[in-house]
């Protein structure tokens, strides 16, 4: 899948280890969940550590049911600083009576091994909800995990947070702030917006930029609205979702403390990372065979454009039509029609496009003649664009989703295996 | 599937022909849609006619994209009276430049044949969106359709409105108003909340009760909120949804003109019809193998209970777990957690039940030990109940849905066939 570039950034390798001073590692410590027939054959515990103290910020799930690690991380990030991330897969440590105790214990174990205080640690978990997290495998693995930290350990760490993901999802960019070269990189796991079976969406982003925690928070809160929050696999919002950004200042740029040009450069780098991770997540949606991007323009506001784009992306009927490579634009118009926003349905234009061409299917809310053969060819591609014009103004937005397939049902219908 | 009875009504046969003075018929007039490989082998045009003028009321889709028949029926019901329904399947007559003209034409053709004025006719269509409706087959079939009207033609009419439905859906009850025996019957089509491929949800209800149009409207608007609006197959709201009720007064009860005991009896009969039709619709959801009922009680209001019940029923992850017969209560709690209402997640109790028994899976928001074997047995049944207690008050609600299966994807992913 090709990365999409906005503004002046340069894509580089290295994920969360791309920026200066970040080590990572992932190991298989042996977590299993009840009902699993086999021990996981992949890494299940990861550590990301910065050489220097970082300013840091995070955004969390809006689900009222929140995983215990979310509560602990929120507490630890109150002072806007952090130095390391400890994260496990397999078990979400959510809806357990001893969840907070176990999440705190994970921080204490990591801190002890790294010579830090627990408050320096960001903790996250992903996996089955409602099964008590066994702490022994984590305690027993911590020494090996810390000893194996390297400046190129991003892939090992990434493997440890993956669940039903079928492809690793990471991106990194170089960008400039005040004449200094900065680097930012991130990794994401998530293949459904949620699947308590085996997952959630977690994103970790590291950078060597020097920027205040307050401005990281502002950039992150803005960026998540137009990237991860505009991507949907199945409409379910996880209990454990978290995106965190750590900045260690080792690029030695002039510290960013207000919304100036440097802040813009930082925010743009963050957008490039998060937008591409969002696209990868949608493309790797459980069972998906296609990435579907819905672009809405001509709306009376950005908000209206977002609501309409997301309504289309989330429609089960539209998603199955994409799987069937069927230019059934009636389903697109129907999803536009029940979007909770104001616009004139009689002014809507719809185009369907891919690298194989484009076709105009609806003009002023009514169908237009088009070649079904051309449409079929366009929809055979694995990256589809739906372009909707509302004819009302300058508001625009994009949303990312995927098709709904037999494999989605298979992955989620199978008995917790 | 067994009918569920609330209050004092008695189930009888006959569907829309159960009440006195209603004739019906359905024929195959030969409507086809573009891309269909074969002419439909089933009835596609139906007529329901009352011997006497009826008071009547309807509720319609909230989708901003509305089928042309909706616009015409709204106009015709402004005076609160009607005498007949003409309805076709195969083509939704929606998003067409000449849609209103064609819907009016259908009313004129039916009126001419029946010796009525077009304003007496309720018109509805269901099928593919955005293809021009050919009026010739309807014009050519009208004579045969009218001549075949009988007081037991409900099954022929019902067949004519079915699309991807796999079972006919009708119910009728006897009830008493002011010492007079009244009858009410209804039929419904709909197998997804919408599938422009081939459908929508249409409900027609007839009764020989004597009641004002204003009170029918009130009872219908109240009833739809707790029946059809609490049922979901795929979350998509159709462009053509319509429920209409016609009352011809032939039971000779004292006319109901205020919210008295007779009105309560009428509203209860309506609830019995619509609740059972909603359950049938959910059970016959596209590709469904199970009816899933979610009952929420202990909420601070009925509204909160409704929001929570519907959030569970609509979760793709929960629905696939039901298909997999997996007591994955984490998915239930997750869907409760992202429901847009206020309650304390720490007070939630969850039980899973069916005719095979019941099991308590979650207490005060945390998991409790239960036998996976028992749970498996409970979930093998084709009617599942999820019972959620919020521990906050007396608000209660029920919602009806189905599992998400391979066949849902197959039915909707296939190329408009």
Residue contact B320–A62, C-beta within 8 A? no
Residue contact A413–B320, C-beta within 8 A? yes
- A19-23, B236-240, B336-340, B409-413: range with lowest mean pLDDT: B236-240
Rounded to an integer, the average pLDDT of B204-211 is 97
- Asked if B345 reaches chain A (Cβ–Cβ under 8 Å), the answer is yes
ipTM of the modeled complex: 0.72
The CA distances from residue B57 to B122, B238, B258, B261, in Å, are 10, 19, 16, 20
Confidence band (pLDDT; 50, 70, 90) for A331?
confident
Q: Are residues A294 and A386 in contact, defined by beta-carbon separation less than 8 angstroms? A: yes
- Asked if A313 reaches chain B (Cβ–Cβ under 8 Å), the answer is no
Catalytic-labelled residue, pool A200, A207, A239, A405: A200
Q: Identify the burial level of B150 via C-beta atoms within 10 angstroms of its C-beta, where 0-12 means exposed, 13-18 middle and 19 or more buried.
A: exposed
Contacts of A192 in chain B (CB under 8 A): 317
Please spell the DSSP secondary structure of A39-81, one letter per residue.
Answer: --SS--EEEEEEEEEEEEEEEE---SS--HHHHHHHHHTTTSE
- Asked if B406 reaches chain A (Cβ–Cβ under 8 Å), the answer is yes
Instruction: Give me the active site residues of B, please.
Output: 200
Sign of CA dihedral B331, B334, B340, B343: positive
Residues 6+ apart with CB under 8 A from B347: B364, B365, B390, B391, B392
- B17-31, B56-70, B226-240: range with lowest mean pLDDT: B226-240
Closest residue in B to A368 (Cα–Cα) = B130
Give SS3 for B125.
strand
Smallest Cβ–Cβ distance between B196 and the set A234, A331, A372 belongs to A331
- Asked if A334 reaches chain B (Cβ–Cβ under 8 Å), the answer is yes
Residue for token pair 């509805």: B124
**pLDDT digits 0-9 by tens, B336-351:** 988 889 899 889 999 9
The alpha carbon of residue B361 and the mean position of all alpha carbons in its chain are separated, in whole angstroms, by: 32
Closest residue in B to A376 (Cα–Cα) = B415
Above 60 in pLDDT, residue A40? no
**pLDDT digits 0-9 by tens, B158-195:** 999 988 788 899 999 999 998 999 999 999 988 654 43
Contacts of A97 in chain B (CB under 8 A): 366
Best of B315, B330, B369, B375 to disrupt the A interface by mutation (most A CBs within 10 Å)?
Answer: B330
Confidence band (pLDDT; 50, 70, 90) for B28?
very high
Smallest Cβ–Cβ distance between B65 and the set A192, A321, A333 belongs to A333
- pLDDT attached to residue A38: 45
The CA distances from residue B130 to A327, A333, B1, B90, B240, in Å, are 12, 10, 35, 12, 12
- Asked if A241 reaches chain B (Cβ–Cβ under 8 Å), the answer is no
The dihedral formed by the CA atoms of A360, A292, A216 and A299, expressed in degrees to the nearest 10: 30
β-partners of residue A398 are A295
- Asked if B316 reaches chain A (Cβ–Cβ under 8 Å), the answer is yes
Distance between start and end Cα atoms, chain A: 28
Rounded to an integer, the average pLDDT of A249-265 is 96
Q: Are residues A239 and A67 in contact, defined by beta-carbon separation less than 8 angstroms? A: yes
Give SS3 for B272.
helix
- pLDDT attached to residue A316: 84
Residue contact B326–A96, C-beta within 8 A? no
- pLDDT attached to residue A235: 61
**pLDDT digits 0-9 by tens, B124-156:** 998 888 889 999 999 999 999 999 999 999 999
Give SS3 for A87.
strand
- pLDDT attached to residue B51: 97
- pLDDT attached to residue B81: 97
Residue contact B413–A196, C-beta within 8 A? no
Q: Are residues B166 and B151 in contact, defined by beta-carbon separation less than 8 angstroms? A: no
- pLDDT attached to residue A13: 96
d(CA A283, CA A269): 21
- pLDDT attached to residue A417: 37
Other Cβ atoms closer than 10 A to A238: 30
Confidence band (pLDDT; 50, 70, 90) for A338?
confident
Angle at A410 between CA A404 and CA A414, to 5 degrees: 140
Above 90 in pLDDT, residue A237? no
- Residue B122 tokens read as 């309720």
Residue contact B345–A406, C-beta within 8 A? no
Q: How many residues appear in chain A?
A: 417
- Closest by Cα among A377, A37, A330 to B99: A330
d(CA B303, CA A93): 31
Kindly give the pairing relationship between strand B45-60 and strand B22-27. Answer: antiparallel
- Closest by Cα among A160, A146, A129 to A83: A146
Kindly give the pairing relationship between strand A291-299 and strand A395-402. Answer: antiparallel
- Asked if A55 reaches chain B (Cβ–Cβ under 8 Å), the answer is no
Above 90 in pLDDT, residue A165? no
- Asked if A338 reaches chain B (Cβ–Cβ under 8 Å), the answer is yes
- Closest by Cα among A73, A84, A154 to A114: A84
Rounded to an integer, the average pLDDT of B400-411 is 85
Smallest Cβ–Cβ distance between A365 and the set B95, B334, B336 belongs to B95
- Asked if A289 reaches chain B (Cβ–Cβ under 8 Å), the answer is no
- Helix B329-337 with B302-314: angle, nearest 10 deg: 130
Above 70 in pLDDT, residue B197? no
Mean pLDDT, rounded, of chain A = 90
The CA distances from residue B163 to A151, A378, B89, B169, B191, in Å, are 60, 29, 7, 12, 8
Closest residue in B to A241 (Cα–Cα) = B334
* pLDDT above 70: percentage of residues in chain B: 94
Kindly give the pairing relationship between strand B242-247 and strand B202-207. Answer: parallel
Best of A164, A229, A320 to disrupt the B interface by mutation (most B CBs within 10 Å)?
Answer: A320
Q: Are residues B303 and B394 in contact, defined by beta-carbon separation less than 8 angstroms? A: no
- pLDDT attached to residue B413: 75
Mean pLDDT, rounded, of chain B = 90
* pLDDT above 70: percentage of residues in chain A: 94
- pLDDT attached to residue B40: 52
Confidence band (pLDDT; 50, 70, 90) for B33?
low
- Closest by Cα among A295, A264, A268 to A279: A295
**pLDDT digits 0-9 by tens, A209-230:** 999 999 999 999 999 988 888 8
Q: Are residues B305 and B412 in contact, defined by beta-carbon separation less than 8 angstroms? A: no
- Residue A219 tokens read as 């950039």
Give SS3 for A212.
coil
Residues 6+ apart with CB under 8 A from B340: B307, B311
Confidence band (pLDDT; 50, 70, 90) for A33?
low
- A58-62, A170-174, A189-193, B249-253: range with lowest mean pLDDT: A189-193
- A35-39, A173-177, A403-407, B56-60: range with lowest mean pLDDT: A35-39
Above 80 in pLDDT, residue B36? no
Contacts of B65 in chain A (CB under 8 A): 333-334, 336-337, 345, 365
Residue for token pair 């309720």: B122
What are phi and psi for residue B359, nearest 5 degrees? -140, 140
Nearest CA-CA distance, residue B130 and chain A, Å: 6
Residue contact B95–A366, C-beta within 8 A? yes
What are phi and psi for residue A39, nearest 5 degrees? -65, 140
């Amino acid at each position: 899948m090709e990365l999409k570039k906005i503004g002046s950034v340069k894509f580089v390798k290295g994920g969360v280890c791309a920026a200066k001073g970040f080590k990572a590692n992932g190991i298989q410590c042996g977590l299993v969940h009840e009902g699993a027939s086999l021990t996981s054959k992949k890494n299940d515990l990861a550590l990301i550590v910065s050489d220097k103290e970082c300013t840091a910020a995070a955004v969390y799930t809006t689900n009222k049911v929140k995983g215990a690690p979310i509560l602990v991380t929120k507490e630890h990030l109150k002072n806007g600083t952090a130095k390391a991330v400890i994260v496990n897969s397999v078990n979400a440590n959510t809806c357990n009576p001893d969840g907070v105790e176990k999440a705190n214990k994970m921080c204490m174990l990591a801190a002890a091994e790294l010579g830090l205080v627990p408050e320096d640690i960001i903790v996250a978990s992903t996996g089955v909800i409602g099964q008590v997290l066994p702490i022994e495998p984590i305690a027993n693995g911590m020494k090996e995990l810390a000893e194996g930290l390297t400046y190129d350990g991003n892939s090992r760490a990434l493997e440890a947070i993956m669940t039903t993901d079928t492809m690793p999802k990471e991106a990194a960019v170089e960008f400039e702030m005040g004449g200094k070269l900065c680097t930012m990189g991130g990794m994401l796991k998530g293949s459904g917006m949620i699947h308590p079976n085996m997952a959630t969406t977690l994103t970790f982003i590291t950078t060597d930029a020097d920027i205040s925690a307050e401005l990281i928070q502002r950039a992150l809160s803005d960026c998540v609205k137009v990237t991860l929050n505009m991507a949907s696999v199945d409409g379910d919002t996880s209990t454990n979702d978290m995106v965190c950004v750590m900045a260690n200042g080792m690029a030695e740029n002039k510290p960013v403390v207000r919304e100036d040009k440097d802040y813009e450069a930082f925010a743009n780098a963050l957008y490039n990372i998060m937008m591409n991770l969002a696209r990868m997540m949608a493309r790797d949606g459980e069972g998906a065979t296609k990435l579907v991007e819905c672009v809405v323009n001509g709306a009376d506001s950005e908000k209206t454009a977002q609501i309409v784009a997301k309504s289309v992306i989330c429609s089960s009927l539209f998603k199955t039509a994409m799987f069937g490579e069927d230019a059934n634009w009636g389903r697109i118009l129907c999803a536009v029609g029940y979007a909770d926003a104001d616009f004139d349905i009689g002014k809507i234009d719809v185009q369907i496009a891919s690298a194989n061409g484009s076709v105009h299917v609806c003009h002023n809310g009514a169908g237009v003649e088009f070649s079904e053969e051309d449409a079929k060819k366009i929809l055979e591609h694995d990256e589809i664009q739906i372009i909707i014009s509302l004819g009302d103004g300058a508001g625009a937005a994009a949303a990312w989703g995927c098709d709904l397939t037999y494999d989605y049902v298979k992955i989620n219908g199978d008995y917790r295996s």
